Amino acid sequence: GDGEAYTGRHVRPKDNGFATGERLTPEFPIRNRPLRAKAGKAVTQLAYARAGIITPEMEFVAIRENLGREVMRGKLQRDGEAFGAAIPDFVTPEFVRDEVA
pTM exceeds 0.85 for this model: no
- Residue 79 is predicted with a pLDDT of 64
Residues of the chain below pLDDT 50? none
Cβ 66 vs Cβ 24: under 8 Å:
no
Report phi then psi at 96, rounded to 5. -60, -45
- Residue 24 is predicted with a pLDDT of 79
- Residue 80 is predicted with a pLDDT of 67
**Distance (Å, whole) CA 75 – CA 68:** 11
